Structure 1
Amino acid sequence: MILIADSGSTKTEWALVSKNHTEIFETTGMNPYFLTQPELEKILEHVNKKLKGDTVSKVVFFGAGCNSSEKMGLMKMLLKKSFLNCEIEVNSDLVGAAKALFGKNKGIAVILGTGANSGYFNGKEISFKTESLGYILGDEGSGAYLGKQFITKLLYNELPKEIENDFTKEYKIRKPEILENIYQKPNANRYLASFAVFIKKHIGNSEVKKIVKDAFNVHIVNHLL
């Protein structure tokens, strides 16, 4: 059987593929830029428990953060430890997205998840891409970026009153708690991206729609033009 992973910063989707059956399950995200080696190992332990002794011959891992030889090497080493005597293949999530979109054809692939990534796929590999600077300096158009723009406007009282009221009613949190979650707790990128659900819910509001439109435009200008 082949185990395929599509891993972002928030969640990882796994597919256990055999000749006659495909089983799909999820774990938390496995971005090696944001998680320590012990944290990654713990997630892989959970994956092995999910497999319930099923024999895996090959693991194909497409992951956010696996865009350098160092991080790809780390992930490959951890997978080899977890899946003994298996063929291991590690690549970026962008390569996985491009192969799913284009097969062996050429095209521009864009991922807008918790983070953001885009590049030109030549039919075999990503042959050109702009630098990814992460959620603090970049990730334009991503869930974390949208959340950051929205929360900034919220805390500066720049959003319509009905949006502020709906936010307070739904989340029941105030400025000190928001800042604590961003600056003092781990996984601030996931926390910021979690507000994308609220943004989508209120996309009919002109101010909220402008946040989304501006974010996508920035991604296009910085990474696609």
Structure 2
Amino acid sequence: MYSLRDVDDISDYVPSRSIIDTLVIDETDLRSLKAFTRVSYRTSFGSSGHRTFSIDPIKGKAEGRVILLHGAPGTGKTYSAECLAEWNERPLLRLSCADIGTEPEDIQARLNKWFRYTYHWNSFLLIDEADVYLHQRSSRSTLNEEAIISAFLQSLGYYRGIIYLTTNRVLKFDDAIHSRVSLILQYPNLGEKEKKRIREQHLTTLENTKRYDIWKGARSTFEEDIAQGRIDR
């Protein structure tokens, strides 16, 4: 099957490495994220001229970097993955449970398909709200729940690139997760200082677009309305 496409306006995408400066998280956490990302960037995929590296004696296992980000909604987990992909000049493939499924027999096949895509695209992978694959198994877990987590973790062990897992729940992770995850970061709720910084960034972005005329007193009026409770933080 063929179709016609207008390609006159197609151009190469230019990553914005500086976007990582807009990320509002702890500086130590940001340094850790950068460090783990750059290690994988230099050692994974093979396309950069470097051989893959793993301390696991089984060939093809534990050659990737799995980064788990957990915390309340709106704390910057997904945005962190997006910023780090831009900073590393990599595309980001974003998936949800709907793309992977919750049937044990389908999970590995679907994950392997997405893993192949990220390998050929030289991209990072983000699985948002991966709670169903991460929660701690117990004696009360059903056989289906056990099978779901087992299938997911088995595939995870053979992934060769960068993968970000996010969850909104503050939960106990399955014991097997810790042996497969390179870095676990908790995102605390944003304080007033962090919220104000984000608001300032958005206002600055609006001003820089030159598409909107923003009243000079807008910032102070906006902050005053927030302080008085007239606008929800």
Asked if Structure 1 and Structure 2 have the same fold, meaning a TM-score greater than 0.5 normalized by the shorter chain, the answer is no
Q: Greater CA radius of gyration, 1 or 2?
A: 2
| Higher RCO (CA < 8 A, seq sep 6+) | 2
Q: Scaled by the length of structure 2, what TM-score is found?
A: 0.26
More strand by share: 1
Q: Scaled by the length of structure 1, what TM-score is found?
A: 0.26
